[in-house]
A and B are shown apart, each in its own frame.
Chain A
């Protein structure tokens, strides 16, 4: 088939997948008990006011029409260019643009996801390689034990222990939020008329040239990403270890050893490179999952990201917002897995479709 046709097929396949996802979300939302209209009123719920609110929320139209409106909003390209985010409707609870809300919550989740995945992968690869090299020794058992145990810890449990140790007893790090109260958020690069801001506080503060802010951001980011990273590292340890072990048993390694190449060249130059691909796939998948918002971490650390957003919206039965969030998440996961698959196919000459 060739790489190009493979990519094309995959891209084409994502469309029906996404469509299925959207429809499923739409249906699920309508089945949820709890009326978003009623949530707007405490006392004064006369039939006229309920009707009026229903009209405002677009809920007076028949279901199929709401579905069509919803889908047509998604492919509204002019809106996308005007606002920078797709038309996902208006929140049923606050009437703000859902797209705007999601994209304002997104950078926080993105930042957390990036650093957590990096930490998890780093710890995972390093420990996995060490573990595989000392196969069946004490170090191996300890590392494997560590990997297994960290995955079994509830994330909020670890999170609050860290908060208590580093935030309350030692007072080294803040206990929550992206930034301490008296520091204003970084604004990014501002030279002449050029304005670049990524929304990622760490990068923006560097762009701004404010080292003090950068350290404040890192301090706030440290606990949540460390917690998440530690918990997730178990997967990477196991994966790296297994793949390294497999690769180290392959013939070409024995051949390299026979030829007299030294240990580290074999480990890092040959074995790790081959073992790395599955790790890359897993990295991509984990990252995509984290983009959906690590709900428990965000709640524990008051991190204003997508996870908390989704949970709030579910409480308010904010159909449009939940739909929008899940759709965006589905999009991320699909895109990331597509990118990872393509990268994999590109890097691994053994795979030809």
Chain B
């Protein structure tokens, strides 16, 4: 009973922190707006099977490349598919790919960074060297090469994006840990005889979390854009599943014939979700930056 209560307390604490953001000035507002945008899109995608007026994958539900009208509020694309349904359902692949890639980055980059910087010395130097080598890879090229290598698929796309971002996590974590490591209370903990995993989990990691959250959100935004880019090159998942990235690619081909609605709405959605995450990340990084406190 008390465990549940303590968990509820943590939740309440978290939520009150969240609502107190409104009092923290424009950065706080940025975070809130970002969260609202992201939540709205996630909700929309989750509810899409029930709220879509048509089957998004069915062709010829309407005339080909029909402009927005009462029957098809967002128009139809070149295969006669309803754009509104495609917009509602199309975010799922992108969200999955981005979420998965953030997860992979987190699971690999963070422990590696923690370990490397805490241990220090030659081990740190070697690992940093390897990570620098990966960092020197041209990002999109790696993603393209891996996507071409593994073939299309949600997991493969996520992996190819993750590989590109792991170095960033590593670096951020490492630089944070390096500065925290020398602080007096960490020394004190060591003096008491605390084990390394206690020090890492109780002292260092909580201080690193804010930076990780910031970079995770930026990573998310970039992953969305990279996923769109990969589909644009032709490495997207199979076309049977509605996806904003595919609509962008198709919309591009038909823009010159005047069908602006095929590319505009998916484009806006991608901008919106990337914007949402970027706002969260930016707002948080401003809030957490001590040098900017009045």
Contacts and interface: CB of A to CB of B under 8 A. Distances in A.
Q: Do chains A and B touch in the complex (CB under 8 A)?
A: yes
B130 interface: yes
B233 A311 contact: yes
A246 B291 contact: yes
A137 to B, nearest CB: 10
Contact of A154 (B136, B225, B256): B225
B139 A311 contact: no
B138 A292 contact: yes
Contacts of B144: 295, 310-311, 314
Interface in A169-199: none
B289 interface: yes
A17 interface: yes
B278 A148 contact: yes
A120 to B, nearest CB: 17
Contacts of A246: 291-292
Interface stretch (A38-46, A64-72, A328-336, A343-351): A328-336
Given A17-B132, A32-B148, A136-B26, A152 B138 contact: no
Interface residues of A, number: 49
A154 B129 contact: no
- Which secondary structure characterizes the binding site on chain B? helix
Interface string A154-170: 11110010001000100
A152 B141 contact: no
Contact of B25 (A24, A136, A152): A136
Interface residues on B, range: 35 or more
Contacts of B38: none
Interface of B: 25-26, 129-130, 132-134, 136-141, 144-146, 148-149, 151, 221, 225, 228-229, 232-233, 248, 252, 255-256, 263, 267, 270-272, 274-275, 278-279, 282, 286, 289, 291-292
Contact of B267 (A34, A149, A154, A295): A154
A274 interface: no
A165 to B, nearest CB: 11
A311 B138 CA distance: 12
A311 B140 CA distance: 10
Nearest to B263: A157
Contacts of A18: 133
Contacts of B228: 154
Contact of B133 (A24, A34, A289, A310): A24
A22 to B, nearest CB: 9
Counting from the closest, the 3 A-B pairs by CB-CB distance are: A292-B138, A152-B274, A20-B133
A238 interface: yes
Contacts of A63: none
B149 A32 contact: yes
Given A289-B138, A334-B136, A152 B221 contact: yes
A34 B145 CA distance: 12
A13 B129 contact: yes
A17 B129 contact: yes
B95 to A, nearest CB: 15
Interface in A292-332: 292-293, 295-296, 299, 310-311, 314-315, 322, 325-326, 329-330
A21 to B, nearest CB: 5
A286 to B, nearest CB: 12
Contacts of B263: 157, 160
A258 interface: no
B133 A326 contact: no
Interface in A222-271: 238, 242, 245-246, 249
